[in-house]
Structure 1
Amino acid sequence: MGSTPITLAKPDSATQQQAFQADLTAAGIMGVIEDNILNHPRSKQVRIGPSEIGMDCTRRLIRKLNGQPEPERGIAWKPTVGTACHSQMEEWFGHQPETAGYLVEKRVTVGAIGETPITGSTDLFSITDKTVIDWKFVGPSMLKKYKASGPSNQYRVQAHLYGTGWVNAGYAVEQVMIVFLPRDGEITDSYFWWEPYDRAVAEEAMNKANQLHTLIKTIGVEATLAMFPLCNNRFCPWCPADRQASTPMF
């Protein structure tokens, strides 16, 4: 499941036999990698989480609220690398002494959409500094972009939602921080963005999600989608295909 079919020619020499065996080995390795990526819990998650509520594309948000899985975009290798790096951070900070004041990968409730509580697992919380911290592992071009103009609205909203989750859990929160770590490059290339925690940022995002949720329940998902334009983000999993489908061929 998930493996790319490979057609192998029948070998007719010792060298070809060795190459044939190497191809079989490579196919087996890729099969294990692809199957595990496709069957990872994050790949199968349908219910919306705090990391998605701040999506810039309203149509994408509507589909997520409606529980629609995103179109297949191939094997999600970059998110898998990010997940592995998150696990490493969890191990490192989870082994810090209690006096360091770190809470790692704790689940918090950021609010509700309709009758459904929205929960998420936060990367790191510093009790001492009253700071919510989120890791992002990015490539060189995106790291440069974030250094120049700060995080996307989606990332910013996520940080404040988690801040609200910690406040709801009874902790004092003064600031939110996103740590952009290079997927390629040196650790010294890292960028630490932060701003004061603002509950209003989280509440505005949750209000929008609840309004869309109500529209979906009242008039249906297609009518709700029709109320909003297609976005121009080429990385949106929905709008580029929807635009192409709606464009006349002649």
Structure 2
Amino acid sequence: MTSVSEFMKAAPARLEGNTPWASRYAGELRRVVVEQANGSARNVQRHLGPSELGVPCDRQVVGKLAGVPATNHVADPWPSIVGTAVHAWLADAFTAANAGLDFPRWLAEQRVVPHPDHSGTGDLYDAKESAVVDHKVLGESSMAKIRSVAGPPIKYIIQLILYGKGFRLMGLPVTRVALAAYPRTAASLDGLYVWERATGPQDDALIEEVFALTGRRKQMAEEIISGRLTLTDIPTSADDSECFFCPFYRPQSKRDNGPGCPGPNS
């Protein structure tokens, strides 16, 4: 039996306000923001771009390809909203920085097509450095991972080299990809950190492996669509770092056998 204290800990935190009216109004503001975020093109798209093809978990990617309804209603959209707003500001800033140059150096928000079925938008191309840059607006724990010896998660690296491939297919030289990590919760830009690696045709074999894996995941998605498989028939990743923001994460499904994914090794 659940105790009162356990029940209260599990209950959503009360929205802040200095009066009952303010608390109620905070709820109204939050509702509009969340509904807009959940209905945005980014969240309802069935098309998977370079940012998603490198996710290690088959179940997450296959579920998205199959259009499985989301069951994770816990993840807060605010980090994504902040990231989208910062990306738009940075695009304007780098585009404006071309003013007065003999030749434009910065190409922001460029549509690229590393694979006919999986286009995406590259955040920034630097013509002077022949570099492709991806902006990430990250919290402290994610920033720490980027700064660690291990470096960025594989999904970020795959995303970078796919963008690099897309720009190369446009005829632009790309010798380097870089992840620019901006601190989302800091009071200054002092925490800005850049991770980079060389790229080029030497990455084409890895890119073909990613496309082959995507092809196998598409076949599994078709099995789900046809009803021959369910989401839980698809293997999960052993790493749970992707779970919290996965649209299909629902830990209680392990207990009630309801929809959703309870997590790794399930």
Give TM class, smaller chain. 0.7 to 0.9
Is residue 90–residue 105 contact of structure 1 (8 Å, CA) maintained in 2?
yes
Measured in 2, the distance between the counterparts of 1:204 and 1:31 equals 42
Q: Which amino acid aligns with 1:190?
A: L
Q: Which amino acid aligns with 2:238?
A: C
Query: What residue in structure 2 maps to residue 226 of structure 1?
Result: 233
Rate the CA distance shift 1:69–1:50 in 2: closer, same or farther, 3 A.
Answer: farther
Query: What residue in structure 2 maps to residue 48 of structure 1?
Result: 48
Is residue 37–residue 43 contact of structure 2 (8 Å, CA) maintained in 1?
yes
Matches for 1:73-152 after TM superposition, within 5 Å: 73-74=73-74, 75-97=76-98, 99-112=103-116, 117-148=117-148, 149-152=150-153
TM-score, structure 1 length as denominator?
0.80
Residue segments in structure 2 that go unaligned for 5+ positions in a row? 1-11
Measured in 2, the distance between the counterparts of 1:104 and 1:226 equals 40
Rate the CA distance shift 1:88–1:69 in 2: closer, same or farther, 3 A.
Answer: farther
Task: Using the TM superposition, name which of 152-161 and 166-175 deviates more.
Answer: 166-175
Measured in 2, the distance between the counterparts of 1:92 and 1:34 equals 27
Measured in 2, the distance between the counterparts of 1:228 and 1:34 equals 31
Q: Deviations over 1:103-145 (max 9, x none)?
A: 1101011114xxxx21111100112211110011111122112
Rate the CA distance shift 1:224–1:24 in 2: closer, same or farther, 3 A.
Answer: closer
Q: Which amino acid aligns with 1:130?
A: S
Is residue 46–residue 69 contact of structure 1 (8 Å, CA) maintained in 2?
no
Rate the CA distance shift 1:71–1:49 in 2: closer, same or farther, 3 A.
Answer: farther
TM-score, structure 2 length as denominator?
0.75
Q: Which amino acid aligns with 1:193?
A: W
Deviation at 1:64, TM superposition (A): 1.9
Query: What residue in structure 1 maps to residue 6 of structure 2?
Result: none
Measured in 2, the distance between the counterparts of 1:43 and 1:68 equals 13
Residue segments in structure 1 that go unaligned for 5+ positions in a row? 7-17
Deviation at 1:213, TM superposition (A): 1.6
Deviation at 1:227, TM superposition (A): 5.8
Measured in 2, the distance between the counterparts of 1:34 and 1:223 equals 29
Query: What residue in structure 2 maps to residue 196 of structure 1?
Result: 198
Backbone CA RMSD of aligned residues: 2.7
Query: What residue in structure 2 maps to residue 184 of structure 1?
Result: 185
Measured in 2, the distance between the counterparts of 1:69 and 1:83 equals 23
Rate the CA distance shift 1:244–1:187 in 2: closer, same or farther, 3 A.
Answer: farther
Measured in 1, the distance between the counterparts of 2:236 and 2:28 equals 44
The 4+ residue runs of structure 1 with deviation greater than 6 A are: none
Rate the CA distance shift 1:161–1:230 in 2: closer, same or farther, 3 A.
Answer: closer
- State percent identity of aligned pairs: 25
Measured in 2, the distance between the counterparts of 1:71 and 1:171 equals 41
Is residue 138–residue 180 contact of structure 1 (8 Å, CA) maintained in 2?
yes
Measured in 2, the distance between the counterparts of 1:141 and 1:66 equals 31
Is residue 106–residue 124 contact of structure 2 (8 Å, CA) maintained in 1?
yes
Q: Which amino acid aligns with 1:199?
A: D
Q: Secondary structure at the match of 1:222?
A: coil
Q: Deviations over 1:151-208 (max 9, x none)?
A: 1000000000111111111111111110111012231212111111123332221111
Query: What residue in structure 2 maps to residue 12 of structure 1?
Result: none
Rate the CA distance shift 1:68–1:224 in 2: closer, same or farther, 3 A.
Answer: closer
Is residue 161–residue 177 contact of structure 2 (8 Å, CA) maintained in 1?
yes
Quick check: which has more Rg, 1 or 2?
Answer: 1
Q: Which amino acid aligns with 1:209?
A: T
